Structure 1
Amino acid sequence: MPLPFLAIAVPVLHSSGAWIASTAASGYIAGTLSGTWIGAFVLGNSTLLGSFGLVSAAGIFGATGGLAALSSSAALGVGSALTAVGLGGVASTLGIAPAATFLGLTPVGWAIAGAAATVVATLGYYFTRKTMRRINEEREKGGLEPITLTEIVREVRLLEAQSLEAILARLDAELGNVSLSKDHKELTVDGQVFSLHRLKYVVNEDGSEELVFVTRTGRKKRVLLVKAAPGPDGFPA
């Protein structure tokens, strides 16, 4: 079965000195400006990466530079804890990303996300030699070393993992029933222990945000409701 065509967004240097995702057809993609190459890459290709289970809303938030903002005085001054405003609320208040960036990240590919070889092989259908050549040409302009698809997947996974850990540490500090282990490998919620590599942070279309556990078959089980869906008045129900 042929795979649908999907243009890969390539990070290029912006006039500001940061990285921004771009496609040959559309040019710069709004909302993808990032201080890092991998951040711009993730923001520009979030739909594809999400469909393969490589990123959740945590990784998207981290790609915007939101992790530093999350612990800043500005974020703390939003007026309530993360469990009340959620990632989308923090991002919107600080103006670091459009709210739409956080939607639609409930990928069907989570079941295969653990199989690195499978992910790389399948992504290879999208990353043609021409695409990889352009990626590395732009990296060279920014003073970066050439990169392979396997290395890109590794960097995406690392960004997702680091972002999730930072968010879970914030939830640990806010909630008495949530505890992140010292080695950051397990999370305990209401006495139940979960492995971090199977946890994802999801922003649903109704505006609710939750931490979910992904089974080996790709099914998701809610572990923690971080933010309830807003009611008719715009406030959490």
Structure 2
Amino acid sequence: MPLPFLAIAIPVIHSSGAWIASTGAAGYIAGTLSSTWIGAFVLGNSTLLGSLGLVSAAGIFGATGGLAAFSSSAALGVGSALTAVGLGGVASTLGIAPAATFLGLTPVGWAAAGTAATLVATLGYFFTRKTMRRLNEEREKGGLEPITLAQIVKEVRLLEAQSLETILARLDTELNNVSLSSDHKEVSVDGQLFSLNRLKYVVNKDGSEEVVFVTRTGRKKRVLLVRAAPGPDGHPA
């Protein structure tokens, strides 16, 4: 089966000095401005990276720079907690990303991400030599070293992992049934241990948000409901 055509978004230097994703003739992509190259890359290519299991809503939120919000209770709203507003609510409050960005990441039967070699081979179908050459030309303009597909996969995985750790650390402070291990490799939810590298943060179409465990066959199992779906009045049911 032929793979669908998908324009790869290339991070370029914005006039503000930050990075923003661009698809060439189409110009800048709204909502992709980031202080880091990898942030703009993830925001611009979230559909592809999400379909490969490389990022979840956690990584997207991290790419926006929103993780700093968790160090300030004011950023979450007076008296509000992550379990009350969810990532979508925090993003909306800070004005860093439209809700559609997160809703678009709802997985449809997540396939296991596989090995780094498998991911690099898969991405190779989309990243032509011309694309990689342009990508590295723009990195050079920003004072960065050339990068390979393998290094991109590593950086995306690191962003996703660090973002999820920060989110779980916040939930640890809010909920009595959540405990993040001191080495941040495991989390206990209701007394059951889970490895962080098998967890994803999902925003569902109904507006609910949850942490899920992804099995090796790509199925997801809810580990923690972070925010219930909003009712008719707009508040969580």
Post-superposition Cα deviations, 1:54-86, rounded to whole Å, max 9, x if no partner, equal 000000000000001222243243431100100
- 1:75 aligns to what? 75
Equivalent residues of 1:105, 1:202 under 8 A apart: yes
3-state SS in 2 of match to 1:96: coil
Flag structure 2 segments of 5+ consecutive residues without an equivalent.
Answer: none
Measure, in 1, the Cα distance between the counterparts of 2:194 and 2:165.
13
Residues 84/91 of structure 1: CA separation in 2 closer, same or farther (3 Å cut): same
* More displaced 10-residue stretch of structure 1: 104-113 or 155-164: 104-113
Match status 1:140 vs 2:124: no
Q: Distance in 2 between matches of 1:176 and 1:28?
A: 43
Q: Is the 8 A contact 1:210 1:226 kept in 2?
A: yes
Cα root mean square deviation, aligned = 1.1
8 Å Cα contact 1:70-1:90 kept in structure 2? no
- For 1:20-31, what aligned pairs fall within 5 Å after superposition? 20-31=20-31
Structure 2: distance between partners of 1:116 and 1:137: 24
Name whichever of 187-196 and 68-77 sits farther off: 68-77
The answer (yes or no) to whether the contact 1:64–1:97 under 8 Å persists in 2 is: yes
Aligned residues: 237
1:81-120 equivalent positions in 2, closer than 5 A: 81-108=81-108, 110-120=110-120
Q: In the TM superposition, what is the alpha-carbon distance from 1:98 to its structure 2 partner?
A: 1.1
Q: Tell me which residue corresponds to 1:160.
A: 160
The residue number in structure 2 matching 1:195 is 195
CA shift for structure 1 position 109: 7.2
TM-score if structure 2 supplies the norm length?
0.97
Give me the whole-angstrom Cα distance separating, in 1, the residues matched to 2:206 and 2:78.
Answer: 21
Query: CA 1:121–1:78 in structure 2 vs 1: closer, same or farther (change >3 Å)?
Result: farther
Q: Residues 150 and 109 (structure 1 numbering): CA distance in 2 closer, same or farther, change over 3 Å?
A: farther
Cα displacement (A) at 1:116: 1.2
Could you tell me the percent identity over the aligned residues? 89
Tell me, what secondary structure is at the counterpart of 1:25? helix
Contact conserved, 1:69 with 1:75, CA < 8 A, in 2? yes
